[in-house]
Homo-oligomer: A and B are copies of this chain.
Amino acid sequence: MTGRCDSVRRSPVNIPSTRGTAGFVATIRPMLSDVECILLEQVAQAPSPLNTMLRQAVVGGKRLRPTVILLLGSLLSGGAERLVQIAAAVETLHVATLIHDDIMDGSPVRRGRETIHVRWSVRDGVLAGDYLLAASAERIARLGDTALMEVFARVLTIVCGGQMAETHPDSGTVRGLDAYRRDIEAKTASMIAGGCEMSAMAAGAARDAVDKAREFGRRLGIAFQMTDDVLDLVGDEQQLGKPRGSDLRQGLLTLPTLLYLEQGKPADTVARVIEDAGERSKETIAAAIEMICASGAVDAAADEACRHADAALAVLSGLGPKQPAETVAILENALRDLVAYAVLRQR
């Protein structure tokens, strides 16, 4: 990826792509621990055997959303207790949507373990997701700030609309680039944007800073999802926790494949894999991935992710934090690390 993501790479802290999340969480570790405790306690309080199912769903996530909410809120001098509650609520909502997404996509495995609807039943999966949706709404409601609740509920509506758009693309045709960009905005970016917005609101930031916080989250979310879609084709299978090309196997067209198709190639293996579910053997999927990589479409997709990461960093520098300069430097660097992590994760 030499030459790409230049401004991300110019980040003051050098980021080895294998470092994972260790570096940037140091500044907010105590708050992240509190979020973890809340997530586990919340799950333990559920009636049995729901608690067992929810525990499996909740443990082991990357905690990207809590991390960005806590870092951004701290940068804007938000109180720890409220930020922790918002972070816990947004992560809970995220896990709820994962559980329902896995049912909707028929995914058998998540984070290397059988999904709830497979290990238990669809019935339990529906309920587990509903329970976490309710728990996250209740947590935000208890903060006693209707503006926060409104953002939260709006995010929920947008996320559902995005899932519907992905499930039923317009007029039965193959999803195009515009639809892809719109869908990841709704499905992934809106929740991270909403989390950042709530984080800034809870910190008492001015309207302008709240808007910038949301835009930061939106750009970060888009960069993160595009990178996820790149990694699905070229990532390390161990790290992915699933075989490469699982999106293609589901007939789901993401950025690299869509950029490949835009090159107007004649009908080939990629087209066959997309159009015919019977053509999705391990070998044809591997061949299709090879062709998409060779065409430069994977690099182009990674470039697009980096442009959004750059845009996120540009917004960040205009945020006007209220903290002492030294603290700002630490938190800003951590956020830069996070943005870099979002797009420079190991292939």
Contact = CB atoms under 8 A, between A and B. Distances in A.
Contact of A48 (B137, B153, B168): B168
A18 B264 CA distance: 67
A145 interface: yes
A317 to B, nearest CB: 32
Interface residues of A, number: 45
Nearest to A143: B146
A160 interface: yes
Contacts of A168: 47-50
A226 B140 CA distance: 34
A131 B49 contact: no
Contacts of A164: 46-47, 50, 127, 131
Contacts of A159: 134
Q: Give this chain's copy count.
A: 2
Contacts of A137: 137, 149, 152-153, 156
A130 interface: yes
A133 interface: yes
Contact of A133 (B124, B145, B156): B156
Nearest to A136: B153
A111 interface: no
A142 interface: yes
Interface string A237-270: 0000000000000000000000000000000000
Nearest to A155: B134
A141 B163 contact: no
A319 interface: no
A123 B49 contact: no
Given A126-B100, A150-B138, A47 B133 contact: no
A130 B100 contact: yes
A134 B157 contact: yes
Given A134-B153, A149-B149, A157-B134, A123 B104 contact: yes
A281 interface: no
29 contacts: A46-B161, A46-B164, A47-B165, A47-B168, A50-B164, A50-B168, A103-B123, A103-B126, A105-B123, A122-B122, A123-B167, A124-B167, A126-B126, A127-B163, A129-B130, A130-B133, A130-B156, A131-B160, A134-B157, A135-B157, A137-B152, A137-B156, A140-B153, A141-B150, A141-B152, A142-B150, A142-B153, A144-B150, A145-B146
